[in-house]
A and B are shown apart, each in its own frame.
Chain A
Amino acid sequence: MGFDLRFGWTGPIGAVTLGATRSEGGTRRVSYRIGGGTTLPFLEYNSSHSSPLIAFEICDNPVFWPPIVRNYCGDLVNNVEDWAKTADATYGADMIRLYLTSTRQRNFSDIPAMGKAVEAVLSATSLPLIIEGSNEPNIDSEVFQRCGEVAQGERLLLGTAEANRYRSIAAAALAYNHSLIAQSPIDVNLAKQLNILLREIGVQRDHIVIDPYTGTLGYGFEYSYSAMERIRFSALKGDTDLAMPMICSPTDTLTIKEVREAESSVQDEMAATWEFYSGLAAAVAGAEIICVRHPETVPRLKEAFRSMKNGTGSAQVR
């Protein structure tokens, strides 16, 4: 006999659907349902619970991308279609996250090109997509509107809403039935507040993924780790305003000193190891989408997640 371990959780994590297959009104070869957890991450008794998803991040203007990825991926980074295809077929990602970095150029105004970039990636890969829109409040509305429109029916995940700018992205998500990422600066209360704001303008809970903001390992990661644990804990204790799945994107990882200044022979290993350590720890804290930028990180995370699934059935705790 084993010990009976009960935490007394009352609320499950809400589910969010990402991507849509043909039968669901889209063109993706697969759609994912994340969330739905009823206890601490990886302790689900039900072994059908899915592993965290690995999203590979690409961009449409590599000037704004870490040099180490530009070196590793070579010419691919200049062609968003080829890059997306490779991330799908070769790197083995579960999702593609496209950053529309072009919008970061001064006085950027070519909105139609953003719609085209999204269309290009939609046709290059049949994986569900995350689209990271503009970084510039003045063009937010047009960019999100355009991206939302060209991908209607595909159940995109749109990023990123923040407390002081969420209306444009919410409008696009509502109009075209996409989900969105709600980011708050490493604070459980701010995360909750933003979710309430979103709810008040009509965004349903099952269309929100929480991004508690991920500090890089060694640069504040512990704050994010605890914020994730607290969000998960509050959700399981019944707070429905926090009961959404979480995304982790340690975007600064590949530009930190440890990676930048590593000897060139070990630089890729350093980059992938740093992403792996933070991604895996974040998954244990409750993140269900782990974003990475280095191709070598993808298979490492995948293998670990495989070993973390409850397959043996010999668990003594639930």
Chain B
Amino acid sequence: MALKALDIYKLLPKKNCKECGDPTCLTFAMKLAGGKADVDLCPYLDDQAKAVLGATTRPPIRRVRIGVGERSFEVGEEFVLYRHEKTFYHQPGIVFDVSDTQSPDEITSITKRVRDEAFTRVGTDLRFSGIAVRNRSTTTDRFAAAVGIIENVADLPLVLISASTAALSAALVHCGTYRPLIHAATKGNFKEMCALAKQHGCPLVIKAHQLDQLAELAKDCSAEGVQDLVMDLSPASLYEFIASSTGIRQLAITRTAPDLGYPVYLDATIGVLQDAWIVLGIVKYASVIVTAPLSRASAKAALTLRQNVYTDPQKPIQMNPGLYRVGSPGKDAPVLMTVNFSLTFFTLEGYLESARIPCFMLIVDTEGLSVLTAVAAGKLNETLVRDAIRKSDVEKEVSHKKLIIPGYAAPLSGRIEEATGWKVMVGPRDAAEIGDFLNKEWKR
């Protein structure tokens, strides 16, 4: 149960010191009750009060930062079960798995790949997020050495995976100040793990197989003073993952089980279905996904799916309206009009590039709507097209007055001709057919 503002107020120091940024303890309490402030902002709370308040006042899923600097990433602070209800905010970090039994060269090369590899999609660079180091050797020295090698190559967020606090401790000598994620505290070792996490100020994974055991462990660790937790459900099948991850998300956002309000960790390297684990991790609420280094195909597909699912559905990505060139179009090059929805733009541009016919793209401002929805909503109309032609000075660029419009905009063709004085050619509905269309209809 969430605490009311007055109940929270009772636990605060009532000094009205303003150090939290609020004018009084009462206003701070009200913010805490609404999930809009973090208890850590109050410097005078003891650990016990923090633990009591922590579970009931923070955002339904705690935000946890992993790593430091440019490549660090934040996970958690999510509010919904479905992205269409609002949006998913913090995309999962996908980290590549290395073992301390691998040669220094192998470790170096995987680290370099994560450091350097990027795919550009719809104007954004997509990258993998960090490295998970596994203490497969079970020796302290090799583990620390592997972490040292990685630290020499790149400043990437790390996940340190070992059952031995001695090995973790040795590794943390190299990277303890860079907020690596420590894996993992269990019922048996949580006190030692919490001490390590506290000493270095690092986030900590807690691991248990049942939801109630996880909640118990979260409470224990929180009482030990570690609140930056990530939960490992160690599912035995894809089914178990979907069931428990959905359960955690639902119980957390409804605050039915505040002790489950932490991001979820998923080890996708178990078994042979790694791609399937990654897909489910991305769509079903995992926040840190550990995978073996991926093939080119899986790498692109995984990063693309992550980008798709974490795109804010309320804000379609838009292009600036105006005139764009594909290749070096001349005076007789075709002019293709379409909307400023980025997906439409990049899809059409891709097909135009492979058609190898230099041309102009005239992008009109439909507020990010696709052709179909813009036509239906009246956001694409002849006035807009006329103004776009004027503003873009396209009439100075080409020696003809022929405008190719998208197939779905066909109902507007007459009105566009009247308003602009341009001759309208109705193109295909499907951008994939634009090459054929230009070859047959334009070049004729």
Known: A217-B305, A219-B347, A225-B283. A269 touches B297 (CB 8 A): yes
Q: Does A277 touch B at the CB level, under 8 Å?
A: yes
Encode B360-402 as 1/0 by CB contact (under 8 A) with A: 0000000000101000000000000000000000000000000
Interface segment among B95-103, B191-199, B245-253: the answer is B245-253
CB contact between B308 and one of A7, A218, A309 (< 8 Å): that residue: A218
Q: In A54-108, which residues have CB < 8 Å from any B CB?
A: none
Encode B289-329 as 1/0 by CB contact (under 8 A) with A: 00000011110111011011101010000000000000000
CB distance from B315 to the nearest CB of A (A): 12
CB contact between B247 and one of A3, A277, A281 (< 8 Å): that residue: A3
Determine whether the beta carbon of B432 is less than 8 Å from that of A255.
Answer: yes
Determine whether the beta carbon of B275 is less than 8 Å from that of A300.
Answer: yes
Interface segment among A10-18, A115-123, A140-148, A310-318: the answer is A310-318
**What residue of chain B has the Cβ atom nearest to residue A258's Cβ?**
B300
CA distance A301 to B307 in the complex (A): 22
Q: Does B256 touch A at the CB level, under 8 Å?
A: yes
**What residue of chain B has the Cβ atom nearest to residue A215's Cβ?**
B343
- Size class of the A contact interface (CB-based, 8 Å): 35 or more
Contacts of A308 in B (CB 8 A): 237-239, 242, 276
Determine whether the beta carbon of A42 is less than 8 Å from that of B275.
Answer: no
Determine whether the beta carbon of B300 is less than 8 Å from that of A284.
Answer: no
Q: In A183-216, which residues have CB < 8 Å from any B CB?
A: 185, 215
Known: A270-B297, A284-B283, A314-B240. A307 touches B305 (CB 8 A): no
Q: Does B82 touch A at the CB level, under 8 Å?
A: yes
Determine whether the beta carbon of B238 is less than 8 Å from that of A307.
Answer: yes
Determine whether the beta carbon of B243 is less than 8 Å from that of A317.
Answer: yes
CB distance from A271 to the nearest CB of B (A): 8
Q: Does A273 touch B at the CB level, under 8 Å?
A: yes
CB contact between A274 and one of B301, B343, B372 (< 8 Å): that residue: B301
Q: Does A167 touch B at the CB level, under 8 Å?
A: no
CB distance from B16 to the nearest CB of A (A): 39
Contacts of B356 in A (CB 8 A): none
Chain B binding site: helix, strand, loop or mixed by DSSP?
Answer: helix
Known: A3-B212, A221-B308, A304-B276. A277 touches B242 (CB 8 A): no
Determine whether the beta carbon of B246 is less than 8 Å from that of A277.
Answer: no
Determine whether the beta carbon of A5 is less than 8 Å from that of B283.
Answer: no
Determine whether the beta carbon of B242 is less than 8 Å from that of A229.
Answer: no
Contacts of B82 in A (CB 8 A): 226, 229-230, 233
Contacts of B432 in A (CB 8 A): 252, 255
Q: Does A260 touch B at the CB level, under 8 Å?
A: yes
Determine whether the beta carbon of A316 is less than 8 Å from that of B210.
Answer: yes
**What residue of chain B has the Cβ atom nearest to residue A39's Cβ?**
B246
CB contact between B343 and one of A2, A220, A312 (< 8 Å): that residue: A220
Determine whether the beta carbon of A40 is less than 8 Å from that of B246.
Answer: yes
**What residue of chain A has the Cβ atom nearest to residue B430's Cβ?**
A252
CB contact between A277 and one of B211, B260, B305 (< 8 Å): that residue: B305
Q: Does A280 touch B at the CB level, under 8 Å?
A: yes
Known: A226-B82, A277-B275, A308-B237. A218 touches B304 (CB 8 A): yes
Q: Does B140 touch A at the CB level, under 8 Å?
A: no
Tell which of A43, A270, A308 has the most Cβ of chain B within 10 Å. Answer: A308
Determine whether the beta carbon of A266 is less than 8 Å from that of B273.
Answer: no
CB distance from B373 to the nearest CB of A (A): 8
Contacts of B237 in A (CB 8 A): 307-308, 311-312
Determine whether the beta carbon of B283 is less than 8 Å from that of A273.
Answer: no
A-B contacts counted at CB < 8 A amount to 162
Q: Does B152 touch A at the CB level, under 8 Å?
A: no
Known: A229-B82, A277-B305. A316 touches B211 (CB 8 A): yes
CB distance from B374 to the nearest CB of A (A): 12
Encode A276-291 as 1/0 by CB contact (under 8 A) with B: 1110110011000000
Determine whether the beta carbon of A42 is less than 8 Å from that of B347.
Answer: no
CA distance A315 to B246 in the complex (A): 11
CB distance from A304 to the nearest CB of B (A): 4
Determine whether the beta carbon of A217 is less than 8 Å from that of B308.
Answer: yes
Q: In A261-275, which residues have CB < 8 Å from any B CB?
A: 261-262, 266, 269-270, 272-274
Report how many residues on chain B are interfacial, defined by Cβ distance under 8 Å: 55
Known: A40-B246, A266-B296, A315-B243. A281 touches B305 (CB 8 A): yes
Q: Does B1 touch A at the CB level, under 8 Å?
A: no
**What residue of chain A has the Cβ atom nearest to residue B282's Cβ?**
A281
Contacts of A310 in B (CB 8 A): 239, 243
Contacts of A304 in B (CB 8 A): 238, 273, 275-276, 279
Determine whether the beta carbon of A257 is less than 8 Å from that of B243.
Answer: no
Contacts of A218 in B (CB 8 A): 121, 304, 307-308
Encode A226-270 as 1/0 by CB contact (under 8 A) with B: 100110010000000000000000001001111011100010011
CA distance A225 to B297 in the complex (A): 21
Tell which of A1, A219, A221 has the most Cβ of chain B within 10 Å. Answer: A219
Determine whether the beta carbon of B238 is less than 8 Å from that of A43.
Answer: no
Known: A226-B83, A257-B350. A307 touches B243 (CB 8 A): no
Contacts of A229 in B (CB 8 A): 82-84
Known: A43-B246, A217-B308. A222 touches B211 (CB 8 A): no
Determine whether the beta carbon of A5 is less than 8 Å from that of B247.
Answer: yes
CB distance from A278 to the nearest CB of B (A): 8
CA distance A233 to B296 in the complex (A): 35
Encode B145-161 as 1/0 by CB contact (under 8 A) with A: 00000000000000000
Q: Does B280 touch A at the CB level, under 8 Å?
A: yes
CB distance from A282 to the nearest CB of B (A): 10
Determine whether the beta carbon of A230 is less than 8 Å from that of B84.
Answer: yes
Determine whether the beta carbon of A7 is less than 8 Å from that of B239.
Answer: no
CA distance A270 to B281 in the complex (A): 20
Determine whether the beta carbon of A266 is less than 8 Å from that of B295.
Answer: yes
Contacts of A220 in B (CB 8 A): 343, 370
Q: In B231-272, which residues have CB < 8 Å from any A CB?
A: 236-240, 242-244, 246-247, 250-251, 256-257, 260, 271-272
CB contact between B239 and one of A3, A42, A219, A221 (< 8 Å): that residue: A42
Q: What 14 additional pairs, Cβ within 8 angstroms, besides A218-B307, A309-B239?
A: A2-B212, A3-B251, A43-B243, A185-B372, A215-B343, A233-B82, A252-B432, A269-B295, A270-B300, A273-B295, A284-B279, A303-B273, A312-B236, A317-B250
List residues of chain B with CB under 8 Å of any chain A CB.
Answer: 82-84, 121, 210-212, 236-240, 242-244, 246-247, 250-251, 256-257, 260, 271-273, 275-276, 279-280, 282-284, 295-298, 300-302, 304-305, 307-309, 311, 313, 343, 346-347, 350, 354, 370, 372, 430, 432
- 11 residue pairs of the A-B complex, CB under 8 angstroms, read A3-B260, A215-B343, A218-B304, A220-B370, A222-B308, A257-B354, A266-B296, A273-B295, A277-B275, A304-B238, A315-B244
The 9 closest A-B pairs by CB, nearest first: A317-B247, A304-B276, A273-B297, A222-B308, A307-B238, A277-B301, A226-B84, A218-B304, A270-B297
